[in-house]
A = this chain, B = another copy of it.
Amino acid sequence: MGSEVYVAGVGMTKFGKSPLSLPELMVEAASRAILDARINTIDYVLIGVMSVEEFTGESNIAAVIADRLGLSGVPSSRVETASSTGSAVFESAFYAVASGYHKNVLIIAGEKMTHLPTSRTTKILAEVIEQNERNHGASMPALAAMITQRYQHEAKLSAERMQAILAKVAIKNHYNGTLNPYAQFRKVISETDYFGSKWVSFPLRTFDCAPITDGAVAVVLTSDKKLIRVSGLGHATDTLAVRHRDSFTSFKSTRLAALQAYNMAKVNPQEISLAEIHDAFTPFEIIGMEDLGFYPPKQGWKAIEEGETTIKGKLPINPSGGLKARGHPVGASGLAQIAEVVWQLRGEFEPSRQVTGARIGLTQNIGGLANNNLVTILERTDFYRPVPVFWKPLFKAGNIESKLISDQPPSLDGGTLETFTTLYSTPEGVPSPLTLGFVRLNDGKIILARSRQENLKIGQQVKVAKEGDLFYFQGISLPGSMKENVGQLISRLLTLKKEKGEEA
């Protein structure tokens, strides 16, 4: 290994709807980070932005920003991994310093989104979704909603209890946002506000989804010893298609990234003082808590119910307000998470906002629909942490092998409904509302399909048909009859088989 890598300075703009252009936001964040770092030279500039060409019609952004900063001459590159860009550009900067070729690297991540109509923004954001799932009309909230329904099913929670848990996440993060002057939303929300908010994609409401935001963050990394050291990095991809994954309710890309980061830092989940988790949707905070090893699978929700993750709880999660309340300028959020951890570890906040005694902090940043995730661990260098010579992580990532998958045409006789949602704000050109579901076919393959039916239930038998390029499914039990009458179901199946001329 080359040099150790330290954080010399951080800075950010207020997140929200801004009159400033992306370069102006980036220059503001960079100026603050450089001032905070008290350095005189920058050797390398790395820019993180997700969709600058589509959001602003500008390209060549790395050169634009170097020029605007008065750093023309200094090398500058842009790094991008969809919504985990903020962490990925930090990772690239880490390698540049660790290699020994650069001493001070300036990282700036930002996004300018609020100036476009929401349907256009939704369309740009939906370009991260796998083509077949996108063609069926799946947006990010639709996929997140189906993951939520499946989580509720596997955790054996009632719909009411699941809703109350999601409400608690949103209320906690909005409360934390009131303490953070950079946050987009700084108002407390109540249960009444939460339950009064509109459905985006059932069972997710407006208050379950991170907003559209402008903003920028900057960090200076250095090889000179400073208080905060970058001690762990992890980065992993997963299949683009959600239907190709080994689980709907746990993200392999987080588990793999966490394993790498814990290994590199030689820490275990139990030693983490606070975490910033990618809550683009409230259920992702709970899944993240489990995938990072803080809580066992399908039990993270208990910590939410018991208030363990509040800013003064046992393990504060998203003390910044998270993506939910701080806002989510897509390319910047990962670096904003890192800035929050740096500030918390420095212990510079007023008592109400400060995580007490924070020594090691972690960030988890999701790219796309959890197919390019990063985990970053930072720690204070001024305390002694004993590490065994033969260190092995206690963190178990579980089975992280993908199944062998293929997109050969499936056999369409029927299958089981794995999860579903009704999407209310659909992408441009897609009818609204739209019901979507993942169906496990009888040959084991999973497909995404639309449905014209209401009153669906996870686990029910469905039949599937192809119309043009799209799949449609409907329940095999008679529409409207949602009692799980197994006898009825079997007799219906027998009838169906007879209709098809098969032996009963």
Residues of A within 8 A of B (CB): 1-2, 44, 50-51, 53-54, 57-60, 62-64, 66-67, 71-82, 88, 91-92, 94-96, 98-102, 124, 127-128, 233, 235-241, 252-253, 256-257, 367-368, 371-372, 374, 400, 402
Shortest CB–CB separation between residue A460 and chain B, in angstroms?
A: 30
Shortest CB–CB separation between residue A6 and chain B, in angstroms?
A: 15
Contact partner of A81 among B1, B78, B124, B367, CB < 8 A? B78
CA distance A256 to B374 in the complex (A): 34
Contact present for B81 and A62 (CB under 8 Å): yes
Given contacts A100-B1, A368-B60, contact A75 B235 (CB under 8 A): yes
Shortest CB–CB separation between residue A92 and chain B, in angstroms?
A: 6
Which residues on the B side are within 8 Å of A94 (C-beta)? 99
8 cross-chain pairs, A with B, having the tightest CB-CB distances, nearest first: A75-B235, A2-B2, A98-B99, A60-B128, A1-B100, A59-B127, A63-B372, A66-B237
Which residues on the B side are within 8 Å of A44 (C-beta)? 235
Which residues on the B side are within 8 Å of A54 (C-beta)? 53-54, 59
Contact partner of A82 among B63, B256, B372, B400, CB < 8 A? B63
CA distance A374 to B127 in the complex (A): 31
CA distance A100 to B100 in the complex (A): 10
Contact present for A79 and B79 (CB under 8 Å): yes
Given contacts A79-B77, A80-B62, contact A72 B368 (CB under 8 A): no
Which residues on the B side are within 8 Å of A235 (C-beta)? 44, 75, 77
Residue of B nearest to A71 (CB): B237
Residue of B nearest to A48 (CB): B77
Contact partner of A240 among B63, B124, B257, CB < 8 A? B63
Copies of the polypeptide in the assembly: 2
CA distance A92 to B2 in the complex (A): 15
Given contacts A72-B402, A99-B95, contact A63 B367 (CB under 8 A): yes
CA distance A99 to B97 in the complex (A): 8
Shortest CB–CB separation between residue A231 and chain B, in angstroms?
A: 13
Contact present for A57 and B92 (CB under 8 Å): no
Residue of B nearest to A69 (CB): B237
Which residues on the B side are within 8 Å of A64 (C-beta)? 240
Contact partner of A92 among B1, B66, B77, B371, CB < 8 A? B77
Contact present for B74 and A237 (CB under 8 Å): yes
Contact partner of A77 among B58, B75, B81, CB < 8 A? B81
Which residues on the B side are within 8 Å of A238 (C-beta)? 63, 67, 72-73
Contact present for B237 and A1 (CB under 8 Å): no
Contact present for A67 and B2 (CB under 8 Å): no
Which residues on the B side are within 8 Å of A371 (C-beta)? 60, 63, 67, 72
CA distance A92 to B79 in the complex (A): 9
Contact present for A236 and B75 (CB under 8 Å): yes
Which residue among A59, A66, A241, A402 has the maximum number of chain B CB atoms within 10 Å of its CB? Answer: A59
Shortest CB–CB separation between residue A203 and chain B, in angstroms?
A: 26
Which residues on the B side are within 8 Å of A257 (C-beta)? 75
CA distance A78 to B88 in the complex (A): 9
Contact present for B101 and A100 (CB under 8 Å): no
Contact partner of A72 among B76, B102, B233, B239, CB < 8 A? B239
Which residues on the B side are within 8 Å of A124 (C-beta)? 53, 59
Contact present for B236 and A73 (CB under 8 Å): yes
CA distance A252 to B75 in the complex (A): 12
Shortest CB–CB separation between residue A144 and chain B, in angstroms?
A: 16
Contact present for A73 and B256 (CB under 8 Å): yes
Shortest CB–CB separation between residue A211 and chain B, in angstroms?
A: 20
Given contacts A67-B239, A96-B95, A240-B67, contact A76 B1 (CB under 8 A): no
CA distance A88 to B89 in the complex (A): 13
Contact present for B252 and A73 (CB under 8 Å): yes
Supplied contacts A59-B82, A73-B252, A75-B257, 15 more A-B pairs, CB within 8 Å: A53-B54, A60-B81, A62-B367, A62-B372, A63-B238, A67-B241, A72-B239, A72-B240, A75-B236, A79-B92, A92-B92, A94-B99, A98-B100, A99-B99, A101-B233
Shortest CB–CB separation between residue A143 and chain B, in angstroms?
A: 13
